[in-house]
């Protein structure tokens, strides 16, 4: 697995876990492009500022929620468990063009 993809995935997960607003914003700026779009069954947002608000709202609503990798980073599919409900998971698809995410919470 390329170090670039591994770092991207690790930083993506760190965005959702980081409680310090300044550190989280630096991670968002590193992971997401200006034109990013995040879509899950509950919400759809565009842009880094909207991602930041989405993460803040999720953390406020579920303060004990933590994301972690469920296994090794793979070039095509990355799965990580959502704590505290490990029966729910998120699947991440990484390709040469960036990160496509489909989330379930």
Q: How many domains does the chain have?
A: 1
The residue count of the chain comes to 105
* Cβ-contact 90, 65 below 8 angstroms: no
Which is more confident, 78 or 67? 67
Digit-coded pLDDT (tens) for 28-52: 999 998 888 888 778 889 999 999 9
How many other β-carbons are positioned within 10 Å of the β-carbon of residue 62? 13
State which residues form the domain around 50.
3-102
Read off the CATH number of the domain in which 77 is found. Answer: 3.10.450.50
User: Which alpha helices (H) appear in the chain, and where do they start and end?
Assistant: 3-17, 21-31, 48-61
Using a cut of 0.75, tell me whether the model's pTM lies above it: no
């Amino acid at each position: 697995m390329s170090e670039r993809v591994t770092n991207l995935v690790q930083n993506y997960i760190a965005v959702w876990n980081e409680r310090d607003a300044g550190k989280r914003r630096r991670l968002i700026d590193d992971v997401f492009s200006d034109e990013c779009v995040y879509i899950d069954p509950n919400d759809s947002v565009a842009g880094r500022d909207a991602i930041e608000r989405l993460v803040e709202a999720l953390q406020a609503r579920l303060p004990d929620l933590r994301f972690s990798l469920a296994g090794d980073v793979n070039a095509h599919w990355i799965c990580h468990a959502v704590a505290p409900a490990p029966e729910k998971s998120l699947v991440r698809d990484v390709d040469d063009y960036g990160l496509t995410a489909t989330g379930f919470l």
